[in-house]
Chain A
Amino acid sequence: MIEITIFVKSNNMSFQLIVENLTKIYSSGRWPFKQKSFTAVDNISFSLKEGEILGFLGKNGAGKTTTIQMLLGTLTATKGNIYYFGKDFFSHRIEILNQIGYASGYDKLPGRLTIQENLDIYGRLYGLSYHDRKSTIKHLLEFFDITSLKDKQAATLSAGQMTRVLLIKAWLSKPKIILLDEPTASLDPDVSLDVIQFVIEQKKQHGTSFLITSHNMAEVTEMCDRIIMMHNGVIIANNTPEMLAQSISDTKVHLMVSQKQEILLQFLKDQKMIFEERLHEIIIHMKEKNIGDFLFSIAQKGIQYAQIAIEPPTLEDYFLAQTKKLKGVKK
């Protein structure tokens, strides 16, 4: 505990969450039979600052949801420490949970209760007054455009509608931290945009910190201040989306060739360059510094193009590159 206080002060920042050496090892089989173990999360450490949106990226089975479950206390960690607001989670569980919101694209609410009844119960569990419950629920139902659903039973909602209700539940008590597990997994693009807007607004207006797991790179790039990328339970990257993307030097050059396409294709094959042939264009992968030389070479061969676009590397490129690099690396 003392160490954490020193850490927070020495950095002159307000850390909402500090995770140290968090590990989860699942064991199967009972003594005296042979036990098998599987490390789902392997000695990870990270922190979350006040008003920061931290994205957790990784393939299925990377350890994102396992981490979130440990952060919520619904899964016991094998090893490691979790501190919220400088306090140990295990010895201040109730006090801390009062200030944390949670929503998952995989959870549901009691199906026979109406949306209003469900949200009212959760408002009570977080100790909200009648007035606060009424006004907050009304405001959030309007924000997510589901006021008309308030008297419908939860069981009748679509997955997208349920996710929106769970987001309202997560925000009811205006928590300091919100943990979101795949919040947009089942949402239409327009509703996903609402969620992104909601997250950014809460951060700006209330300084709320978010920890979000997602598969959607574009959405994560737009929302998150920092990304943690996980693979086989290990953190393989921890940086801003821009810095991660910039660490990839591969650029895509889109060419809409008007003359001598065959010559271009032959040239690319001869040079052993990576390219994709599309209906109206050819996409060529190359280092940014080589673009000038490449364009000069094709001009010399008389290849003409009607349109050219240079696509800088994205977070998705970084993710794919990392995944490719780590393919076959099994623990």
Chain B
Amino acid sequence: MRLYIIYAIILRYVRVFFHDINRLFSLFFWPAFDMFLWGFLGQWVQESSGGDFQLAFLSSIALWQMMLRFSQEMASSFLEDVWTQNLINFFVAPIKVVEWFIGLITISSAVGIAVYFNCAFIVSLLYKKSFITFVYNFLTFGPALFLSGIFLGMIPLILIMKLGRKGAEMAYIITWIVAPFCGVFYPRTVLPLFAQKIGSFLPMTYVFEGVRNYMIHGIFPAKQLAISCGISSLYIVISLTIFMHVFAQTKKSGLSRLYD
């Protein structure tokens, strides 16, 4: 693995990102919009229920935004090469798949972190919540969610690698499909039994339950974080294996097929 190659890949994604006004806009606008919307809803619920429900709620949403943008950025960066018909140029350069992958995860992580701290800043500004709490939450729950984000981001990558441009729409939808089941906006227990069972297979569910338990009851969710990291690691191995298989299959019909 060569660091100068990884640096070049990251630099390329950074340059593409900062030239794209829509992606820059979405980095700040949608997280701010969510914080604004859910923040006041949380305030209303808090006033009628007591406890710092609002902080717990907004912490979950900020972490969700981080994971969502992280996984979506993985898909967007890859799609950019498909849309611009640059994929072949890129893959005939002396790049190892692992170097490309590390570059992709690094830039996606940077976007996720930027989104998270943007949310934290807005919450501390609008609702007078402690910024330090958000830093602590990031350090405690962030790593487990990044692992979940890698797995979640792999699904669109596999879809795009398999279907090319045709898979773009589905790639974005798939990251939202998990939202109702993983307990970001409400505890998993309010879901019907079948939905709870689906949630139990998602690694991020344990993190969001942990956040809620910690913020409302003060219980540190060590066990839940460990379960989440374990499931995520397993899913990453499975999804990487599937990705490499799909990549090899796609090369049988040619990478240029993805432009169709």
Contact = CB atoms under 8 A, between A and B. Distances in A.
- B interface, by DSSP: helix, strand, loop or mixed? helix
Interface residues on B, range: 20 to 34
Given A69-B256, A74-B251, A127-B5, 20 more contacts: A74-B255, A75-B253, A76-B252, A94-B95, A94-B96, A97-B93, A107-B86, A109-B86, A110-B84, A110-B86, A112-B16, A112-B20, A113-B19, A121-B11, A121-B12, A125-B5, A125-B94, A126-B93, A126-B94, A127-B4
A133 to B, nearest CB: 11
A73 interface: yes
Contacts, number: 95
A122 to B, nearest CB: 7
A134 interface: no
A124 B90 CA distance: 12
Interface residues of A, number: 35
Interface string B241-257: 00000001001111110
A100 interface: yes
A122 B93 contact: yes
Interface in A53-111: 66, 69, 72-76, 94-95, 97-98, 100, 102, 104, 106-111
B251 A76 contact: yes
A166 B93 CA distance: 13
Interface of A: 26, 66, 69, 72-76, 94-95, 97-98, 100, 102, 104, 106-113, 117, 121-122, 124-127, 153-155, 166, 169
B81 interface: yes
B173 interface: no
> Which residue among A73, A113, A166 has the maximum number of chain B CB atoms within 10 Å of its CB?
A113
A154 B80 CA distance: 13
B49 interface: no
B217 interface: no
Nearest to A109: B86
B1 to A, nearest CB: 11
B50 to A, nearest CB: 50
The 9 closest A-B pairs by CB, nearest first: A124-B8, A112-B19, A75-B254, A97-B94, A98-B94, A108-B85, A125-B93, A74-B255, A121-B12
- A interface, by DSSP: helix, strand, loop or mixed? mixed
13 contacts: A74-B254, A75-B251, A75-B256, A94-B96, A97-B94, A107-B86, A108-B85, A109-B84, A113-B12, A117-B15, A121-B12, A121-B15, A125-B5
A74 B5 CA distance: 19
A286 B255 CA distance: 48
A107 to B, nearest CB: 5
B251 A111 contact: no
Contacts of A100: 92
Contacts of B2: 127
Interface in B157-200: none
A124 B4 contact: yes
